[in-house]
Chains A and B, each alone.
Chain A
């Protein structure tokens, strides 16, 4: 394979899925921004026209990404990281505010969102740091540094405010985990999430009783061959209960009402129909409308450009974060399932590709790509179909937005470039 044209070595299945998602995405942007007056589909005054232009730009960037030497990305990852951090810092001075968030640079013809660049750069930098011969992920100091690589951009992005993008950097911790972070880290995170949710739903007392029951169950199952770590288990349980108490405190004292409402809506905590109706009209409006739009699509959907709720602009932000509801309304269960399957297939393919890398940098970068794409896909669709709280985060390759599309493309194709070079020596 080595020496053959890049076109022969690149993973065409991934490219095919990428193109499929891009096409479906654009069709739905067209539909959700369509008005009867539209004359040309490529009119740059329309959002779908602009998106079409960015698709072209993205294709150009693919050529560039694939043309560059594979070694370039590893070599310049630190510099790229530095540049992106500076650009994030620069937002505090030169940033342009859109919809309340100072996340853009005004470049005249389009607005650049540096957090998108930071995602690519951070994935590269993290892979670079972790694959460094001197880094030992078992060491606490190196773990800390690795987390710092993720934390810096997150801290810079949170005050924009853009909590959704910040979340993406935390998701990249999965790469560190993949590269040797002990499994209990994941266990602790999972436990924390479970305790958080169950505390809100059932209260601290029930969480405590539940934990106690689990420990008793373990003790009852005690066998000679299976040693139960009684002390660590009890201490974890105690910490969990303390955490649960602090959750109550944070939820009631630190959170603002709008945050509480989001959780109330998500976990169906609010039983009073009047208050529920109020939440539905305010904080839960988006979710309620998008759920209804998806539901109204039924099995086969209403058809292209036939989505009444889409046409009536009932779902806010429908061409960006809520694009999936257009799919739901116009293409029905068939359409939504197709998209979910395409993403699942893409992510599984990327896992497969990452695992086959000989070069640790390529593999770790691959996991970075998976983490980024997965968290976007998971949070976005989860939010649109109403099983996750509202977090503003776009659906990769789908949502309207030039920066997003461009950098997701670059993110993916850098990995494809690395993958195509996996058999070559001395990157």
Chain B
């Protein structure tokens, strides 16, 4: 029996061992342990981030090398502190304090000791660093901006956070990623991919060679340079004009959908969000809730479009056979909605399509809108058709552009009115929803949607999805989302009369004050009523100034939408700014220096301060000489 006892003990022990080993080597084993293995250290080699150029191959964003003196406290040996401090050109006390701080952070991991050496210091130090074990110089690359504009377009980069790490296994703590704008959308292209070298370490953390002779090492892949559709000159000029004004401007090349400029005012200098001051500056910008510079008004600002939207209604009425260009409506300095008179500024008289547009007659378009509804057996069918047409111009939904953000805007529909007023033809009608006719009320669009709408009119019936990427590594992009035309539901033949009306806006209509020599423009002004809530009272503010335009009328090169908050009537700020930008883009120089000076000097800061003043205030003041401010000195400039 004792013989079996011993044999069974031997077998039981053997099974116990195998059990424990299978627990260790099969159940506890995780295949991706290379990263956790203390014997293997991954050293990353970061490629340079790709440059960003404008459409004319002018540099927008490049890189600036930065050199940091790093320290690994554990490896520091006794050294002549005074001599070393002299070499680094730092204060001895500060040096000792920094070293202590680095040691507290981690004796084993590198810390920055002296950040951002100049290139000269780097050259001087590089040779001598070897004499000081534990110290070394690390090269980093910082974003360098060759412009002080386009912050909203370009975006910025910052260190990855927990969410980025969870979302994308590529990133490791401490790496940088694009946060907004082009930097975010084209992160993968710009970033390239980092190289990695696996180093075999011993338990004293010393290198003892390459892990697996470098079989797993990866060579870094350079970041690609990209060319964006922005015209640097136009963008910079637009931001200059936007000085002291809140709003958004988007300019598009109608024949391609390329975004020529995308201006949001107020904005900030892109270089504020680079390097060590980024976090502090960002918080400051973010907390500025009045001017809100981090909010991209060009793509995210949803507001009623106002009169420019009348062009769409004209097109829908033509398409549905509700009117012909010669159909007339009489304006009695206004029109009646259920016995209450609504005003019109066109001067009154008989209006056809042409002068309806160029005089921006509310009565004409409300009449045309009612006519559209008469074409359908029920109001809801009419509404459905109207919604379909409007949406075909890229409104009421995300455009599908390659911008990092955006808003869909709103286009009212049957469902909305059924909810508001109840289901049935008796509950609501063209009369109830007449504000749609003049682009007020429930219609909300962003400046980029407005610009896109203008491009669609300029193209007489189709548009290309607005986009920002032009070339990657000098090669044109071939993304069918951007290169294939999107057709509106309006037949091409109906556009000519509307375009004619818009051209007359500029020749003899509401925008006749903004004419540019030698350039024929088709445009449409807008003066949009807007309200805010002050101390829980709905209060009307000075109207928003809107202007959409394209030029030249034949074979258009630029379609633009300018939306200036509280700028009063469309021809005042928006119209002038639009005309200056068109001139800048088409002629590359400004002939109307007086106008330019006026636009650069005038700010709407006083207008924006009104709601916050706590005092009763006037709106829509005729006199705008108060808007002129003395040229600001360097220190007080808002940007």
A interface, CB within 8 angstroms of B? 36, 174, 177-178, 289, 291, 294-299, 306, 308-309, 311-314, 328, 332-333, 336-337, 340-341, 343-344, 347-348, 351, 355, 367, 370, 374, 378, 381-382, 385-387
User: Considering only CB atoms, which chain B residue lies closest to A301 in the complex?
Assistant: B25
Chain A CB within 10 A, most for which of B6, B13, B16, B20 = B6
Assess whether B29 is in contact with A298, with CB atoms less than 8 Å apart.
Answer: yes
B271 to chain A: closest CB distance in Å? 44
* B37 pairs with A296, CB closer than 8 A: yes
Q: In the complex, A294→B20 CA distance in Å?
A: 11
Do residues B25 and A295 form an inter-chain contact, with CB atoms below 8 A? yes
Contact A355 B3 (CB under 8 A): yes
A312–B18 touching, CB < 8 Å: no
- Residues of A within 8 Å of B29, CB to CB, are 295-299
Taking the nearest CB of chain B, how far is it from the CB of A364, in angstroms?
13
Q: Is A381 touching B17 in the complex (CB atoms < 8 A)?
A: yes
Judged by a CB distance under 8 angstroms, whether B26 is at the interface is yes
- The interface-forming segment of B79-87, B120-128, B204-212 is B204-212
Residues of A within 8 A of B13 (CB): 344, 374, 378
A174 to B11, CA, bound (A): 17
* A333 CA to B3 CA, complexed, in Å: 30
- Determine the distance from Cα of A291 to Cα of B20 in the docked complex, in whole angstroms: 10
Chain A residues within 8 Å of B7, by CB: 348, 351
CA distance A347 to B209 in the complex (A): 42
Q: In this complex, what residue of A is CB-closest to B14?
A: A344
Tell whether, in the assembled complex, residue A178 and residue B17 are in contact, meaning their CB atoms are under 8 Å apart. no
* A-B residue pairs in contact (CB < 8 Å), sample of 12: A178-B6, A295-B29, A299-B25, A308-B37, A311-B208, A312-B39, A313-B202, A340-B17, A340-B21, A351-B10, A370-B6, A387-B20
| Secondary structure call for the A interface | helix
A295 touches B2 (CB 8 A): no
Task: Knowing A309-B37, A332-B25 are in contact, say whether A341-B31 is a contact too (CB < 8 A).
Answer: no
- Asked whether B33 is an interface residue with its Cβ less than 8 Å from the other chain, the reply is yes
User: For residue B212, which residues in chain A have a CB less than 8 angstroms away from its CB?
Assistant: 306
With A178-B2, A312-B38 in contact, do A296 and B33 touch (Cβ < 8 Å)? yes
Q: Name the B residues within 8 Å of A297 (CB-CB).
A: 25, 29
Shortest CB-to-CB span from A156 to chain B, Å, is 28
Q: Judge whether B40 is part of the interface by a CB distance below 8 angstroms.
A: yes
Q: Do the beta carbons of B24 and A294 come within 8 Å of each other? A: yes
Given the interface pairs A294-B21, A294-B25, A387-B20, the reply to whether A344 lies near B10 with Cβ below 8 Å is yes
B208 x A312 contact (CB < 8 A): yes
* B14 CB contacts on chain A under 8 angstroms: 340-341, 343-344
B201 within 8 A of A: yes
In the assembled complex, the CB of B598 is this many whole angstroms from the nearest CB of chain A, namely 71
CB distance from B8 to the nearest CB of A (A): 10
B6 touches A308 (CB 8 A): no
- B187-211 interface mask toward A, CB cutoff 8 Å, 1 = contact, 0 = none? 0000000000000111100001101
Q: Is the CB of A312 within 8 A of B200?
A: yes
B548 to chain A, nearest CB (A): 65
Smallest CB-CB separation from A354: which chain B residue? B3
Q: From A340, which residue of chain B is reached at the shortest CB distance?
A: B17
CB distance from B24 to the nearest CB of A (A): 5
Q: Is B615 an interface residue (CB 8 A)?
A: no
Compute how far the CA of A341 lies from the CA of B25 in the bound complex, rounded to whole angstroms: 16
A-B contact count (CB 8 A): 99
**Contacting residues of chain B (515-556) with chain A, CB-CB under 8 angstroms:** none
A314 to B202 CA separation, bound complex (whole angstroms) = 7
Taking CB atoms, residues of chain B closer than 8 Å to A336 are: 17, 21, 25
Tell whether, in the assembled complex, residue B200 and residue A308 are in contact, meaning their CB atoms are under 8 Å apart: yes
| Apart from A298-B29, A308-B40, A332-B25, 14 more pairs, CB < 8 Å | A294-B24, A298-B26, A308-B200, A314-B39, A333-B22, A333-B26, A336-B17, A336-B25, A344-B11, A344-B14, A370-B6, A374-B10, A381-B17, A385-B21
* B173 contacts partner chain A, Cβ-Cβ < 8 Å: no
Most buried by B among A178, A308, A313, A374: A308
Q: Separation in Å of the A357 CB from the closest CB of chain B?
A: 12
Q: Is the interface of B mostly helix, strand, loop or mixed?
A: helix
Instruction: Say how far A30's CB is from chain B's closest CB, in angstroms.
Output: 17
Report the Cα distance A297→B22, complex, angstroms. Answer: 11
CB distance from B606 to the nearest CB of A (A): 63
Q: How many residues of B contact A (CB 8 A)?
A: 33
B28 at the interface (CB under 8 A from A): yes
- Residues of chain A within 8 A (CB-CB) of B11 are 344, 348
Give Cα distance in the complex from A120 to B21, angstroms: 31
Q: Is the CB of A337 within 8 A of B6?
A: no
Could you tell me the distance in whole angstroms from the C-beta of A339 to the nearest C-beta in chain B?
9
Considering the complex of A and B, which 8 residue pairs feature the smallest CB-CB distances, nearest first? A312-B39, A344-B14, A308-B39, A333-B25, A312-B202, A298-B29, A295-B24, A347-B10
Contact B37 A340 (CB under 8 A): no
Residues of the B chain whose Cβ atoms lie less than 8 Å from the Cβ of A344 = 10-11, 13-14
CA separation between A61 and B1, bound complex, in Å?
35
**Shortest distance in angstroms between B245's beta carbon and chain A's nearest beta carbon?**
59
Closest partner residue, chain A, to B19 (CB atom): A387
| Complex Cα spacing A294 to B22, Å | 10
Nearest CB of A to B452, in Å: 57
Chain B residues within an 8 Å CB radius of A294? 21, 24-25
What residues of B have a CB within 8 angstroms of the CB of A309 in the complex? 37-39
Nearest CB in chain A to that of B11: its residue: A344
Contact call A311/B39, Cβ cutoff below 8 A: yes
Q: How far is the CB of B214 from chain A (nearest CB, A)?
A: 13
Q: Which residues of A contact B202 (CB under 8 A)?
A: 311-314
Distance in angstroms from B466 CB to nearest chain A CB is 53
**Distance of A340 from chain B, by nearest CB (Å):** 5
Contacting A at CB under 8 A, from B95-116, are none
* Given A328-B25, A374-B10, also A340-B2 (CB < 8 A): no
Pick the residue among B6, B17, B33, B209 that contacts A351 (CB under 8 A): B6
Most chain B C-beta atoms within 10 Å of own C-beta, residue among A36, A343, A344, A348: A344
CB-based contact A385/B203 at 8 Å: no
Q: How far is the CB of B122 from chain A (nearest CB, A)?
A: 33
Query: A178-B6, A347-B10, A348-B7 in contact; A385/B20 too (CB < 8 A)?
Result: yes
- Give the distance to chain A from B203, nearest Cβ to Cβ, in Å: 5
Q: How far is the CB of A341 from chain B (nearest CB, A)?
A: 7
Distance A174 CA – B5 CA, assembled complex (angstroms):
11
> A351 near B3 (CB under 8 angstroms)?
yes
Residue from A36, A381, A382 within 8 A of B209 (CB atoms): A36
Are A387 and B16 within 8 A (Cβ)?
Answer: yes
User: In the complex the two chains form, is B3's CB within 8 Å of A308's CB?
Assistant: no
B5 to chain A minimum Cβ distance, whole angstroms, is 8
Q: Are B28 and A295 in contact (CB under 8 A)?
A: yes
In the bound complex, do residue A291 and residue B37 qualify as a contact, i.e. CB atoms below 8 Å apart?
no
Q: A386 CA to B211 CA in the complex, in Å?
A: 28
B39 touches A385 (CB 8 A): no
- Distance in Å: Cβ of B31 to nearest Cβ of chain A: 7
Residues of chain B within 8 A (CB-CB) of A347 are 10
In the complex, A340 Cα to B16 Cα: how many Å?
10
CB distance from A356 to the nearest CB of B (A): 11
* Max chain B Cβ within 10 angstroms of own Cβ: one of A295, A299, A337: A295
Q: B17 contacts A311, CB within 8 Å? A: no
Which residues of chain B come closer than 8 Å to A333, judged between CB atoms? 21-22, 25-26
Contacts of B39 in A (CB 8 A): 308-309, 311-312, 314
**A341 proximity list for chain B (CB < 8 A):** 14
A337 x B203 contact (CB < 8 A): no
Q: When the two chains form their complex, are residues A312 and B201 in contact, meaning their CB atoms are under 8 A apart?
A: yes
Residues in A whose Cβ lies below 8 Å from that of B211: 308
Complex: how many Å from CA A355 to CA B3? Answer: 7
A332-B24 Cα distance, complex, nearest whole Å: 10
List, in ascending order, chain B residues with CB within 8 A of A351's CB: 3, 6-7, 10
CB-CB contacts below 8 Å: B202-231 with A:
202-203, 208-209, 211-212
Residue of B10, B17, B37 with most partner-chain A CB within 10 A: B17
Q: Which one of B20, B22, B25, B201 has the highest number of Cβ atoms from chain A below 10 Å of its Cβ?
A: B25
> Which residue of chain A has the shortest Cβ distance to B28 in the bound complex?
A295
* In the bound complex, CA of A308 to CA of B3 (Å): 43
Q: Chain A residues with Cβ under 8 A from B2's Cβ? A: 177-178
